[in-house]
Chain A
């Protein structure tokens, strides 16, 4: 990767400090607890007093109620991620761009699903988050394409194109994009690992994050599959490249007893926080509670790693991840309030 400047340590310090300051401005736990007791207009006003103000003000004339909150959050997230990508120097930009490609997958799959269901263009556009490599203009162009096949054809030359081309006929036939989505995410993680191992300075730290992410995602998927009573071959659904080989994950799944399953998982895990979380999960029944506990462990572990390597890509990734969950939390709060869900129920959905 000769095209990437090695950059001075000062660039890292500058960028990482900016990320830490931004992270300190994220909505704290107490505010979420306060918002649990608010109504939707109150939440909108509360969000409008924070750094979401410009989006809320800008969109208030076109949207109202829950749509205003949703679109404002998406716009803010996309704007924030694009701004961060702009200010990252050298290798950090390369790794950040690599991480942000997941939004391309989300956007493309959303467009394909929308096209398949013959949704209105405006409706599809509302849920897109142009935070990855494909910017607003490219996504708008994709939206105007007539059919899913044309959308895929327009993506020729992109990294995701070969998989889209291979999987689309099957998806169109079955009417389900699940397999296509799985394959896209699997290739995304494989590409992340390849980027981390490309010999660029700081790649080792990036790889540590990827390993953690894949492990947590695989464990989450195992719990989900168990909750759905799936016992067949799930090797295709697991992400390869983590600390557990895919075969081992399959063996975990066939264990009938839940405690036995957790014990087997614990035997393979080294990190103490994850061990503690798995022990705490033993007492939890609801799937969402388990998922939130695992996400919390991942964020805590990333935070710990970012302190060990303070001037690496890790502080940037911690901020990007926490921002993603902040937006998800606010969206869950707004949607929950709209559906008149009680506060205690909503609380389970928040990553605080």
Chain B
């Protein structure tokens, strides 16, 4: 929505702002999603480790797998901004 009364600088600033909002949403929402996923995996991981300490390494790996979601979000955010 470009107002006829807007200058070129104003349009550019508006576009930059939109990109920033997009980047924030990309990182923020994916951050929330990985948080929820890690909550589930994490509690199962703690339960399994409490019973058998040998699985600690394996469940640690499983717990950080949902972390990839937020990394994808971060990549999208960086692509948007730069």
Contacts and interface: CB of A to CB of B under 8 A. Distances in A.
A15 interface: yes
B46 A14 contact: yes
A235 to B, nearest CB: 45
A1 interface: no
A22 B50 CA distance: 11
A18 B59 CA distance: 14
Nearest to B39: A10
Interface in B15-63: 39-40, 42-44, 46-48, 50-52
B43 A10 contact: yes
A207 interface: no
B50 A18 contact: yes
A14 B43 CA distance: 5
Nearest to B44: A17
Nearest to B47: A17
Q: Is the interface of A mostly helix, strand, loop or mixed?
A: helix
A13 interface: yes
Contacts of A13: 40, 43-44, 47
Contacts of B44: 13-14, 17
A15 B51 CA distance: 11
Q: Give the interface size class of chain A.
A: 10 to 19
Nearest to B55: A21
A9 B42 CA distance: 12
Contacts of A21: 47-48, 51-52
A21 B46 CA distance: 12
A10 B43 CA distance: 6
Which of A9, A10, A11, A22 has most chain B Cβ within 10 Å? A10
Contacts of B52: 21
Contacts of A11: 43
B15 to A, nearest CB: 42
A17 B48 contact: yes
Contacts of B51: 17-18, 21-22
A96 to B, nearest CB: 16
B52 to A, nearest CB: 6
Contacts of A18: 47-48, 50-51
Interface string A7-36: 001110111111001100000000000000
Contacts of B47: 13-18, 21
A351 to B, nearest CB: 24
B72 to A, nearest CB: 24
Contacts of B39: 10
A10 B39 CA distance: 7
A262 to B, nearest CB: 42
Contacts of A10: 39-40, 42-43
A91 B46 CA distance: 20
A11 B43 CA distance: 7
Contacts of A14: 43-44, 46-47
B47 to A, nearest CB: 3
A108 B63 CA distance: 47
A22 B42 CA distance: 18
A68 to B, nearest CB: 27
B49 to A, nearest CB: 9
B54 to A, nearest CB: 11
Interface of A: 9-11, 13-18, 21-22
16 contacts: A10-B39, A10-B40, A10-B42, A10-B43, A11-B43, A13-B43, A13-B44, A14-B43, A14-B44, A16-B47, A17-B47, A17-B48, A17-B51, A18-B50, A21-B47, A21-B52
Given A14-B43, A16-B47, A18-B51, 13 more contacts: A10-B40, A10-B42, A11-B43, A13-B40, A13-B44, A13-B47, A14-B46, A17-B43, A17-B47, A17-B51, A18-B50, A21-B51, A21-B52
